[in-house]
């Protein structure tokens, strides 16, 4: 450290004007770019400071200054014979070689670069300064000619030591399940029309090329194939098929009419049991985003049944959530479908803001069944017991759901009251907060009793602590039996989730006297 400071002080004594210039402009050798180009010209050309001395004055390595000079293309401007830190006989030999062959970054050949990089073992950054070119140019040439950028010493041989390795643990969410392709193949629809079209072409001897109008109209209208699909069957482009259709006077479908061919656009226009059930599913497990409707659930049965109702030719996509668990997604879109769903109250980012739609009484039970198939469930806390629960992020929606169940007789006969010990536990032992909660609960009890008298009462809504979610729970046999009859009695198997249906049905049948 002392020797470097002494050499720097000597340089400042030898070039006082340059030292004052560097101090006045606060130059730092590490941050020299095109904005400091004029300062370098002033120091190297006007004040005639050698590059090696200037590197000491700027407190940077000489190779860094050389690379900066090469990057800013100052070698030709300054006419420097050697802008790099090559000293002694080696530097003189390299400089003479470059001067004799009149080399620069563009004229250097493979043999020249091989000699300089391998024989002379000069770093690329220094060579770029000598050849007055960018370092990236030499790196690109060396890679193209498969030349090493510098001469590396061979590492010493290391004695092999046997190391015991622990068994490798496969991380979560990595890899594709082996049966994922098989699952996609099983649920994929849409190949049926292609196979029928191929059989039709085989029967009529159609191989490729332009076909007769009647065959083209059959493929496009009867089988409902797109121009792209017909083009693949005939070995032509979609644009060519569209030209054939127009030249033969066949009316073509625009993009929305094509999708309407595969989507029931009026499904949500009129109320029906199927429409109300699907609407309940979309209010829970569905979402509206970027002009598309998406239903995603872990039960494969739900998107399959919705697909059969709305768009039988659409595909269901399978995603691997974790090893052995899959998420099944069904996506469809159409302007009229989107308009109807928005009219019914389905919006983007609906989880915390959705409201209970205005539903005719005859279709209310189908909508509630759809909601329960999505975010509802049945759990068995013990032998001979069953609890029905529903979770929602919107307080307004779940309150209206509770009132809808109250109207059909799913009620509670008592107003639950939380003890002071439970309130103390929920408030972490704070008596003031516990008493405040108790007073607030008593006010609500009084308001409910004033509205409904001494019963029955709507189902109680439980707010989850630390989460923006609300639960609706009931587990009495006098509640579950009418609830089962309300949502499942006389309903087709195509519009309910069989897994949840069987759980509730088995419990209710077990209540019946033998």
Report domain extents, the chain.
Answer: 2-144, 180-252, 265-344, 370-511
Residue whose structure tokens are 């587990």: 475
Q: Which CATH number fits domain 265-344: 3.20.20.105, 3.40.50.11260, 3.10.28.10, 2.60.40.10?
A: 3.10.28.10
CB 132 within 8 A of CB 73: yes
- Tell me if residue 331 falls in helix, strand or coil: strand
What are 207-231's pLDDT values in tens digits? 777 888 888 888 888 887 888 888 8
Q: What is the pLDDT of residues 459-505, one digit of tens each?
A: 888 887 666 788 888 988 888 999 999 999 999 999 999 999 999 99
Residues contacting residue 349 through CB under 8 Å, at least 6 positions apart: none
Fold adopted by 370-511: Endonuclease I-creI (3.10.28)
Residue by residue, what is the 3-state secondary structure of 124-179? HHHHHHHHCCCHHHHHHHHHHCCCCCCCCCCCCCCCCCCCCCCCCCCCCCCCCCCC
Q: What angle do CA 366, 371, 374 make, to 5 degrees?
A: 125
Residues 6+ apart with CB under 8 A from 286: 293, 294, 295, 296, 346, 374
Rounded to an integer, what distance in angstroms lies between the CA atom of residue 178 and that of residue 319? Answer: 13
d(CA 32, CA 438): 70
pLDDT at residue 293 greater than cutoff 80 = yes
Q: Average pLDDT of 378-387?
A: 88
- Sheet bearing 376-379, strands edge to edge: 376-379, 387-392, 470-474, 461-463
- Highest mean pLDDT among 101-105, 123-127, 298-302, 435-439 belongs to 298-302
Predicted confidence band of residue 388 (pLDDT cuts 50, 70, 90): very high
- Average pLDDT score over the chain: 77
Asked if the model's pLDDT at residue 160 lies above 60, the reply is no
CA distances from 445 to 152, 419, 421, 448, 450 (A): 84, 14, 19, 5, 8
The maximal CA–CA distance of the chain, rounded, in angstroms, is: 113
Structure tokens at 321: 């959530």
Predicted TM-score (pTM) above 0.75: no
d(CA 197, CA 313): 15
Confidence tier at 261 by pLDDT (50, 70, 90): low
Give which of 243, 244, 240 is closest to 215, Cα–Cα.
244
Q: Which of 228, 251, 253, 263 is nearest to 335 (CA)?
A: 263
- Which tokens is 425 given? 């536990």
265-344 matches 370-511 in fold: yes
Averaged pLDDT for residues 446-467: 75
Handedness of CA 287, 293, 298, 301 (dihedral sign): positive
């Amino acid at each position: 450290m002392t020797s470097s400071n002494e050499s720097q002080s000597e340089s400042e004594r030898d070039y006082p004007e340059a030292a004052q210039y560097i101090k006045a402009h606060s130059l730092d050798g590490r941050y020299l770019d095109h904005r400091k180009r004029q300062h370098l010209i002033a120091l190297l050309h006007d004040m005639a400071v050698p590059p090696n001395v200037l590197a000491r004055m700027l407190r940077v390595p000489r190779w860094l200054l050389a690379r900066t000079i090469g990057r800013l293309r100052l070698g030709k401007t300054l006419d420097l014979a050697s802008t790099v830190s090559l000293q002694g006989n080696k530097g003189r030999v390299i400089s003479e070689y470059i001067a004799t062959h009149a080399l620069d970054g563009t004229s250097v050949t493979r043999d020249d670069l091989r000699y300089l990089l391998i024989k002379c073992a000069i770093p690329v950054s220094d060579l770029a300064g000598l050849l007055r070119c960018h370092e990236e140019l030499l790196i690109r040439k060396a890679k193209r000619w498969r030349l090493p950028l510098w001469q590396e010493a061979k590492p010493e041989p290391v004695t092999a030591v046997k190391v015991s390795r622990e068994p490798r643990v496969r991380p979560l969410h990595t890899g594709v399940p082996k049966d994922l392709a098989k699952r996609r193949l099983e649920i994929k629809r849409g190949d049926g029309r292609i196979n029928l079209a191929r059989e039709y072409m085989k029967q009529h001897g159609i191989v490729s090329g332009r076909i007769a109008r009647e065959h083209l109209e059959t493929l496009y209208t009867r089988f409902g194939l797109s121009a792209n699909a017909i083009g693949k069957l005939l070995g032509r482009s979609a644009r060519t098929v569209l030209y054939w259709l127009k030249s033969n006077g066949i009316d073509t479908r625009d993009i929305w009419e094509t999708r309407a061919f595969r989507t029931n656009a009026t499904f949500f226009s009129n109320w029906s049991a199927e429409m109300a059930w699907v609407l309940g599913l979309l209010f829970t497990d569905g979402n509206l985003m970027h002009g598309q409707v998406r239903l995603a659930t872990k039960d494969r049965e739900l998107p399959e049944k919705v697909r059969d109702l709305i768009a039988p030719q659409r595909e269901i996509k399978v995603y691997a959530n974790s090893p052995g668990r899959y998420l099944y997604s069904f996506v469809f879109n159409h302007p009229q479908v989107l308009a109807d769903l928005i009219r019914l109250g389905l919006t983007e980012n609906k989880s915390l803001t959705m409201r209970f739609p205005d539903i005719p009484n005859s279709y209310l039970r189908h909508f509630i069944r759809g909601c329960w198939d999505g975010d509802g469930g049945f759990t068995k806390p013990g032998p001979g017991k069953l609890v029905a629960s529903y979770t929602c992020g919107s307080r307004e929606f779940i309150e209206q759901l509770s009132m809808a169940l109250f109207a059909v007789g799913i009620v509670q006969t008592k107003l639950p009251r939380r003890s002071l010990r439970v309130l103390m536990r929920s408030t972490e032992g704070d008596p003031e907060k516990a008493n405040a909660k108790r007073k607030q609960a008593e006010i609500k009890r009084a308001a409910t009793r004033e509205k409904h008298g001494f019963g029955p009462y709507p189902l109680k809504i439980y707010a989850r602590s630390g989460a923006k979610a609300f639960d609706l729970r009931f587990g009495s046999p006098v509640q579950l039996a009418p609830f089962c009859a309300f949502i499942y009695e006389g309903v087709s198997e195509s519009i309910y989730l069989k897994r949840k249906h069987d759980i509730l049905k088995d419990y209710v049948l077990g209540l019946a006297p033998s």
